[in-house]
Amino acid sequence: MGTRVALEHKIRVLEVYGDSTLVIYQLKGEWETRDPKLIDYRKIVLGLIEEFDDITFNYLPRDENQMADALATLASMIKVNKSEDMRPIQMNIFEVPAHCYNVEEEEKDDHPWYQDVLRYVKNREYPEHSTENEKRTLRRLASDYVLDGDILYKKRKDQVLLRCVDAMEARKILEEVHEGVCGTQANGFTMARQIMRFCGSGQKNIKKIVGKMTETYKYWHEKLPFALYAYRTSVRTSTGATPFSLVYGMEAVLPIEVEIPSLRVLS
């Protein structure tokens, strides 16, 4: 579509930048196109290329292509009437957030979101002035929670216990996940651990794990570290331990799990 637009504007010399290594290197002829779904697209683009005096294709990493992503997102949100002229879009870069929400000011952890559930599970107490309908709702919600000492956990359908955290703990966890040792790997690690749960502790086929995590094969190398980490930190049925613990004599935990103890750290 971008190539056609360039031709409509009578552009004859064009530099194309894309963040897909697969597409760029196939169009440059360095990679062979085997996917039947992509062959037809490549033929169309190769035909359009002949109409240019000079056209080059360049790979640009995704994190360096943010402006194009922003423009594409903006374009998908706007419907322009062809009979009207499109006004120029003015864009500014702000050094500070346009809106700030301070969790510390809004919530001091005196009344966390799970307070009513905690009080009922611990003491079978209802909030003051509760109606009978609200009491029934609270009892139904509380059936999915487990109290261990002073720590409240929510039971998932697969019986995994999720620790309930207040606003301050949640902020610390989010900061650690997005800015700490996890960095951008957090989503991939979480996904991999979920897949390990469904593959079963006896499954040692790393290729299958990566295959389940990857929508298109071109990104398999990005998912491999997550799959390996999940495999090495998941308990094997045969040994009752994780490969990591057998090698190093201890379990791999995140720093935030020590600061806000997770269930496995407490165990």
| Contact status, residue 91 vs residue 52, Cβ threshold 8 Å | no
Task: Quote the crossing angle between the two packed helices 220-232 and 186-199, to the nearest 10°.
Answer: 60
Tally the residues of the chain.
267
6-20 mean pLDDT: 90
pLDDT tens for 233-254 read: 877 777 888 888 888 888 887 7
Residue found under tokens 């002829």 = 29
Residue 53 is predicted with a pLDDT of 93
Which residue ranges make up each domain of the chain? 2-76, 115-163, 167-266
**Structure confidence at residue 213 as a pLDDT band (50, 70, 90):** confident
Strands 54-59 and 13-18: parallel
Spatial CB neighbours of 17, under 8 Å, sequence gap ≥ 6: 58, 59, 60, 65, 68
Residue 54 is predicted with a pLDDT of 94
Residue found under tokens 């991939």 = 188
Question: Which one, of 72, 73, 62, lies nearest residue 5 by Cα?
Answer: 72
Rounded Cα distance, 244 and 251, in Å: 7
Rounded Cα distance, 57 and 27, in Å: 7
> What's the token pair of residue 3?
């190539």
As to burial, measured by CB atoms within 10 angstroms (0-12 exposed, 13-18 middle, 19+ buried), residue 23 is buried
What's phi and psi for 103, nearest 5 deg? -65, -40
Residue 249 is predicted with a pLDDT of 83
pLDDT tens for 21-31 read: 888 988 888 88
Residue 201 is predicted with a pLDDT of 43
Rounded Cα distance, 174 and 75, in Å: 31
Please compute Rg for the chain using Cα positions. Answer: 26
Residue 49 is predicted with a pLDDT of 92
pLDDT tens for 119-145 read: 999 999 999 888 998 999 999 999 999
What's phi and psi for 141, nearest 5 deg? -65, -40
Residue 198 is predicted with a pLDDT of 46
Predicted confidence (pLDDT) at residue 85 exceeds the cutoff of 80? no
Residue predicted with more confidence, 44 or 263: 44
56-60 mean pLDDT: 91
The CATH number for 2-76, chosen from 3.40.1010.10, 3.90.660.10, 3.30.420.10, 3.40.30.10, is 3.30.420.10
60-81 mean pLDDT: 77
Helical residues (DSSP H) of 77-131, grouped into ranges: 103-106, 115-123
Residue predicted with more confidence, 99 or 161: 161
